Homo-oligomer: A and B are copies of this chain.
Amino acid sequence: MIQINAHYLKLKASYLFSEIAKRVEAYQQQHPDAPVIRLGIGDVTRALPDACIHAFHQAIDEMAEDRSFRGYGPEEGYAFLREAIAENDFKARGADIGADEIFVSDGAKCDTGNIQEIFDINTRIAIPDPVYPAYLDTNVMAGRTGAYHDGRYEGIVYLNGNAENGFIPDLPAEPVDLIYLCFPNNPTGATITKDQLKQWVDYAAANKAIILFDAAYEAFIRDDSLPHSIYEIDGARDVAIEFRSFSKTAGFTGTRCAYTVVPKSLMAYTATGEAHSVHGLWNRRHSTKFNGVSYPVQRAAEAVYSTAGKAQMQELVNYYMENAALIRKEMQALGHTLIGGENSPYIWVATGADSWSFFDMLLENAGVVCTPGAGFGTCGEGYIRISAFNSHENVTAAMSRIRQALKS
């Protein structure tokens, strides 16, 4: 008899974003003439940069001729893209990362979800709260947790974020092996300083732990003193894997391209302490279960690093950051405490009520969709996340509606 992976039964029945979609749909059926404005899911809304469009078309023209056609590419990505990444995203910032340490993929969601496979089933996992749900769910599926109750899974070391620590969790009190960190943070928009990040790198080095650093939102950093990459921190090459994406920075959510950095000096161990290259393990995983990113998509991603592409990407980021500034200003004027939105596209707002009630109230009274903080973990209760990914017109209209709703 074929048996299921019973760990799946531990998963909370409803995924955050499907629950939101359900409530929005119900609202729209009751109010067919009241269009909602979505500041919920962190999805970009503006067209791909011209430089990417141009490169994309050009690559498709290559695929139209036998002599320039490309079949299977290297699973880890074409050298042209890996070299552009290493040069621009790392070496230019003084981070010592080589092109051969970069694995191009079709999404940071896939990579952050798949990475746990190469580690032992009994790995002690530290995960922030609030957090992007996929880190947790993929470890539940793998069987690294016990049951779910009171908003938490047994067997996970939760790193609490709250108003007191500014949503920068403290170092874990008990020993852990694998630590998920995300800065600029999703969902809170919190950022980490180099000094703070150095403490995590030192902790990992002292404990032979590995940090999984999700930097999908680094392009939104405005404060020059903040690190864009964990590899700007001394010693990080020996303790960290970094995840990046073109999704939010260059509008690739529907085009799909991302990458993961696994330094060759990063080691993990057998039970008897024998060191193995994590790069080698990930390479084996990646080449066995993945067949590379679409060639034209890789050419479009490469164009992000052209002179025109850089300027266009910056313009896109600036556009969304103007929205973020407006959201911050308006919500503060309404008396809400908040963080984020200065170096990140997310604004994390204290609601003064429980998250889902505030979500429902905003939907019902303002026709605006946000994300309830409680959906990101127990520490998210009492907060909502507002996303800056929308048009100026929609964000302005949403803020005006929210003003009306909250004042009435």
Task: Please tell me if the beta carbons of A289 and B110 are within 8 angstroms of each other in the complex.
Answer: yes
Chain B residue numbers with a CB within 8 Å of A46 are 66, 69
Task: Please tell me if the beta carbons of B60 and A60 are within 8 angstroms of each other in the complex.
Answer: yes
Copies of the polypeptide in the assembly: 2
Query: Beyond A106-B291, A288-B134, is A270–B6 a contact (Cβ under 8 Å)?
Result: yes
Which of these, B2, B141, B143, contacts A123 with CB under 8 Å? Answer: B2
Write the nearest CB–CB distance from A118 to chain B, whole angstroms: 5
Report if A177 contacts B (CB, 8 A): yes
Task: Please tell me if the beta carbons of B50 and A269 are within 8 angstroms of each other in the complex.
Answer: no
- Determine the distance from Cα of A109 to Cα of B290 in the docked complex, in whole angstroms: 6
- Determine the distance from Cα of A50 to Cα of B391 in the docked complex, in whole angstroms: 36
Chain B residue numbers with a CB within 8 Å of A119 are 2-5
Which of these, B63, B273, B293, B295, contacts A47 with CB under 8 Å? Answer: B63
Q: Which of A158-166, A219-227, A250-258, A356-364 contacts B (4 or more CB under 8 A)?
A: A250-258
Query: Beyond A60-B53, A73-B254, is A6–B120 a contact (Cβ under 8 Å)?
Result: yes
Chain B residue numbers with a CB within 8 Å of A43 are 71-72
Residue of B nearest to A41 (CB): B72
Chain B residue numbers with a CB within 8 Å of A120 are 2-6
For A3-22 the 0/1 string (1 means CB < 8 A from B) is 11110110100010000000
Q: Which of A94-102, A279-287, A397-405 contacts B (4 or more CB under 8 A)?
A: A279-287
- Determine the distance from Cα of A398 to Cα of B391 in the docked complex, in whole angstroms: 58
Residue of B nearest to A273 (CB): B1
Chain B residue numbers with a CB within 8 Å of A295 are 254-255
Those of A97-145 within 8 Å (CB) of chain B:
106-107, 109-110, 113-114, 117-123, 134, 137-138, 141, 143
Task: Please tell me if the beta carbons of A5 and B289 are within 8 angstroms of each other in the complex.
Answer: no
Query: Beyond A53-B63, A64-B53, A255-B296, is A110–B3 a contact (Cβ under 8 Å)?
Result: no
Task: Please tell me if the beta carbons of B4 and A269 are within 8 angstroms of each other in the complex.
Answer: yes
Chain B residue numbers with a CB within 8 Å of A297 are 294, 297
Task: Please tell me if the beta carbons of A47 and B64 are within 8 angstroms of each other in the complex.
Answer: yes
Task: Please tell me if the beta carbons of A63 and B255 are within 8 angstroms of each other in the complex.
Answer: yes
Residue of B nearest to A258 (CB): B291
Report if A292 contacts B (CB, 8 A): yes
List 9 additional contacts besides A3-B120, A8-B281, A106-B291; criterion CB under 8 Å.
A1-B209, A15-B287, A43-B71, A69-B251, A69-B254, A72-B253, A109-B291, A110-B290, A256-B294
**Pairs A–B under 8 Å by Cβ, sample size 9:** A2-B268, A53-B63, A57-B57, A71-B253, A121-B143, A137-B288, A138-B289, A254-B295, A256-B291
